[in-house]
Amino acid sequence: MANFSQVIAADDAAPFDFKNTYAGLPERFFVRLNPTPVRSPQLIRLNNGLAKHLGIDPNQLQTMQGVEILSGNRIPAGAEPLAMAYAGHQFGSWVPQLGDGRAILLGEVIGQDGVRRDIQLKGAGRTPFSRMGDGRAVLGPVLREYIVSEAMYSLGVPTTRALAAVTTGEKVMRERPFPGAIFARVAQSHVRVGTFQFFAARKDTEAVRFLADYVIARHFPDTESGSQPYLGLLRAVVSQQAKLVARWQLVGFIHGVMNTDNTSIAGETIDYGPCAFMDSYHPETVYSSIDQTGRYAYSNQPGIAYWNLGCFAQTLLPLFDKDVDMAVSQAEEIIGAYPSLFEKAYLSGLRSKIGLLKENEEDQELAQDLLDRMTKNEADYTLTFRRLCDLVGSRPEADEPVRSLFKNPADFDDWVLRWRKRVAKEEVNDVRRQEAMRGVNPAYIPRNHLVEEAINAAINEEDFSQFDKLITVLSSPYDDQPDFAKYAAPPRPDQVICATYCGT
Ligand code: AMP
Ligand code: MG
């Protein structure tokens, strides 16, 4: 194991006011250990706003001591560093032991909103769960996670967040040596479907119960008082996942590795690896280089979340009822609600995206017709919906910018005739509808070619200016930012990125 002797001991003036609970669970839930120190940590970026929200003084985190904490070289007072145990289905195959192989939970803080959140260092060194891995993270994926998770937050999609990124001053070997980095991640918790699976697979029902009680108290306190809190837990997790994946679909986000160990019980998007936002719309889009069969393609995401929820439900069966058949039928009833919960959230979002406030039976078909035409015409997903916001309800005077995104603009013309008929049934004027549409159809998403450009400049030239600028632009995705028009543009053909890499 690593030599921890260089770790600087806790001091009193710690920036974090830790209130740890996970460390109070039975010892078989985790392994206690400190991060492995790194040679020469340097702060790349600190999320000042998030730090303040968490009750952390950002100035303190920017000092040398703060950067030592963010790199794992110094253990702040109150931290109880540990690596969490979990298992999971990876691409459908069962792996009985995964666990934090390169992430260390420092502890929990309670933010200004009263919500408890984990502070975790990703890339903090080897742990007993590292298997063949080196416990480290490289700069590219750290920057990617920073950019994309913060963009998701600003888009209004539940997600883990980026508190900071540091470089380590060490090289990490992948296809070639890359600069090492550590990502300080904030999450409502790091409990995953795979955490439940870890104990269920070991027939450790006591641990499953501890974990369920813990998750209910931490994330779903409303279900605690019900007569059947464990059924309530499943119901709550099903509902959160349905809403989360609907949000992904609506912004064109493809997670890329929807394994059960990457499915947060708190309903946040977690573990950004080869994730990507779609440029031109196609339901079968896959970016991840490791997803050879397209298991986690865009259009499969809702169904995969359903599958993952089935795995979760299975772990809870012994808590539902001693009678297995009874437990299964209770679980099935709750899980069975998922498809309609998803459809409801997705359809409601689609309606808003095309500017409809009222509900009408034909709406789903109308929206689907647009998506089909976009597929056929390779229309850019984000830009099409953003330009739809400018349409005038009664006349084609503002049609050109959006129709020109279609290879065959006549395909759009046919659709917009239908749309106008439908919009005539709304009692809202153009200005109000346009405003509402701009609030749900972002102008800016982390486009793959821009993310790639920012990462390459950072890795190859130590130039973080593009990374910084991208984060600034993406923090207001629904506002027009004329100075940054280039960030809203789809890639030119020579800029299109077809594959993303896990880069662990
Ligand atoms: P991921 O695909 O990143 O969700 O990770 C899957 C599993 O591999 C988790 O148990 C990770 O902790 C582990 N893992 C990923 N990268 C590394 C690494 N560089 N060193 C050790 N473990 C890793
Ligand atoms: Mg993971």
Instruction: Give the model confidence (pLDDT) of 306-342 as tens digits.
Output: 999 999 999 999 999 999 999 999 999 999 999 999 9
Residue 5: pLDDT band with limits 50, 70, 90: very low
Question: How far is ligand 2, taken at its centre, from the CA of residue 107, in Å?
Answer: 19
Neighbouring CB atoms inside 10 A of 178's CB total 18
Helices (H), 25-174: 48-53, 58-62, 64-70, 139-155
In DSSP notation, 259-284 reads -GGG-BTT--B---SS-EE-SB--TT
Residue with tokens 């889009």: 285
Cα 122 from Cα 369, distance rounded (Å)? 43
The CB of 262 under 6 Å from ligand 1? The reply is yes
Whether residue 12 is predicted with pLDDT greater than 60 in this model: the reply is no
Whether residue 502 is predicted with pLDDT greater than 80 in this model: the reply is no
Whether residue 499 is predicted with pLDDT greater than 90 in this model: the reply is no
The CB of 239 under 6 Å from ligand 1? The reply is no
pLDDT of 9 reads 55
Active site annotation includes 261: yes
pLDDT of 466 reads 98
Question: How far is ligand 1, taken at its centre, from the CA of residue 108, in Å?
Answer: 22
The arithmetic mean of pLDDT across residues 169-191, rounded, is 97
**Ligand nearest the Cα atom of residue 127:** 1
The CB of 291 under 6 Å from ligand 1? The reply is no
Whether residue 293 is predicted with pLDDT greater than 80 in this model: the reply is yes
pLDDT of 3 reads 42
88's CB contacts (< 8 A; 6+ apart) are: 95, 98, 192, 193, 194, 197, 259, 260, 261, 262
The CB of 102 under 6 Å from ligand 1? The reply is yes
The arithmetic mean of pLDDT across residues 58-66, rounded, is 96
pLDDT tens-digit profile of 243-273? 999 999 999 999 999 999 999 999 999 999 9
Question: How far is ligand 1, taken at its centre, from the CA of residue 262, in Å?
Answer: 11
Cα 386 from Cα 478, distance rounded (Å)? 9
pLDDT of 423 reads 97
pLDDT of 11 reads 55
pLDDT tens-digit profile of 33-48? 999 999 999 999 999 9
pLDDT of 503 reads 62
The CB of 101 under 6 Å from ligand 1? The reply is yes
Question: How far is ligand 1, taken at its centre, from the CA of residue 137, in Å?
Answer: 9
Residue 14: pLDDT band with limits 50, 70, 90: confident
pLDDT of 13 reads 64
**Ligand nearest the Cα atom of residue 125:** 1
Coil, strand or helix at 360: coil
What does pTM read for this prediction?
Answer: 0.96
pLDDT of 328 reads 98
pLDDT of 1 reads 37
- Residue whose Cα lies nearest atom 13 of ligand 1: it is 101
Helices (H), 159-228: 193-201, 205-219, 221-224
C-alpha distances out from residue 333 to 143, 322, 403, Å: 42, 17, 45
pLDDT tens-digit profile of 102-140? 999 999 999 999 999 999 999 999 999 999 999 999 999
pLDDT of 2 reads 40
Question: How far is ligand 1, taken at its centre, from the CA of residue 259, in Å?
Answer: 12
For residues 196, 199, 200, 204, the Cα torsion angle rounded to the nearest 10 degrees is -140
* Catalytic-labelled residue, pool 261, 279, 399, 411: 261
pLDDT tens-digit profile of 420-466? 999 999 999 999 999 999 999 999 999 999 999 999 999 999 999 99
The CB of 335 under 6 Å from ligand 1? The reply is no
Atom number, ligand 1, closest to the C-alpha of residue 504: 16
pLDDT tens-digit profile of 364-389? 999 999 999 999 999 999 999 999 99
Of the listed ranges 183-197, 390-404, 431-445, 489-503, the least confidently predicted one is: 489-503
Which pair of structure tokens corresponds to residue 61? Answer: 């985190």
Atom number, ligand 1, closest to the C-alpha of residue 261: 4
Cα 351 from Cα 347, distance rounded (Å)? 6
- Residue whose Cα lies nearest atom 11 of ligand 1: it is 101
The CB of 231 under 6 Å from ligand 1? The reply is no
Percentage, residues of the chain above pLDDT 90:
95
Helices 301-320 and 229-251, packing angle to 10 deg: 170
pLDDT tens-digit profile of 199-229? 999 999 999 999 999 999 999 999 988 889 9
- Residue whose Cα lies nearest atom 6 of ligand 1: it is 98
Residue 8: pLDDT band with limits 50, 70, 90: low
The arithmetic mean of pLDDT across residues 132-157, rounded, is 98
Instruction: Report the mean per-residue pLDDT for the chain.
Output: 96
Whether residue 10 is predicted with pLDDT greater than 80 in this model: the reply is no
